[in-house]
Amino acid sequence: GCGHGGGWHQHTQWYPRLQVCCSSLGCHFLTVFCRAAQPFPSLYRSPGSGLYSNLQQYDIPYPEAIFELGFFFHNPKPFFTLAKELYPGHYRPNVAHYFLRLLHDKELLLRLYTQNIDGLERASGIPASKLVEAHGSFVSATCTVCRRSFPGEDIRADVMADRVPRCPVCTGVVKPDIVFFGEQLPARFLLHVADFALADLLLILGTSLEVEPFASLSESVQKSVPRLLINRDLVGSFALSPRRKDVVQLGDVVQGVERLVDLLGWTQELQDLIQRENGKLDGQDG
């Protein structure tokens, strides 16, 4: 049932049911989400970008080293240069984020699992109780020496001023609670054991499904549960071991979400939500 190209691909008998499922308040959407943006290594390698220029001043052996604890303890400045760029408030949620917020407003969202560290799911108005931020977030931070915990806002001024944040108690480096390579995922990630058994539909947006254990989540729902992939490429088990009820929309993620919203008859509602939320953000910026 999975094909390539810009359109929907599905077994025809399942698509109407998918539509009915989405439209009924009895449906529990489980969403795995990774924002459709440039992956960090390609952003890092984009000459001309401010981030690229800023990071070139450091002797970074390879882009991923920024998220390795050994390199961080050797030199935390490259990470904080990146953190300044990614800190909540720099970017606004897009159509895909607000679609997920709309699912929550309609009481359809069971849980949203995200690999993002930019906090845009929270910024769209989805409550923390509905989120599993598998790779952590900037909401909190921890001293790497005495392990004291701090609100992320406490270190924001330092990060924005290009200073490495220090613990007021022991002067150790304070690191935002972003999951680095080799670190354990947050305890909330274990919610997937219960969540994936309850899902009526699994929606996967804009992710390569490459990073474990996140990648295996797509196979955790029962075989009777439809899986909907909206992504640039056919990835993971959608390519390797597709299921009969899989529905795939390949191409631009935002356009794919807009098409789904249109099919569900929610376009006006979503536009109203975006306008309302942008108005609030404009007020905050002003």
Residues serving a catalytic function are 135
- Residue with tokens 């701090």, as numbered in its chain: 150
| Burial track 49-84 (b if 16+ CB lie within 10 A, e otherwise) | eebeebbeeeeeeebebbbbeebbeeebbbbbbbbb
Cα–Cα distance measured from residue 157 to residue 122, given in angstroms and rounded to the nearest whole number: 21
Instruction: In whole angstroms, give the CA distance from residue 149 to residue 145.
Output: 11
Helix, coil or strand: residue 232: coil
CA-based nearest residue to 52, from 61, 42, 62: 42
Rounded CA separation 200/187 (Å): 24
What's the CA gap between 209 and 162, in Å, rounded?
33
Assign 3-state DSSP to the chain and report helix, strand, coil percentages, each to 5.
45, 15, 40
Burial of 174 (0-12, 13-18, 19+ CB in 10 A): buried
Q: What is the C-alpha separation between 78 and 72, in angstroms, rounded?
A: 8
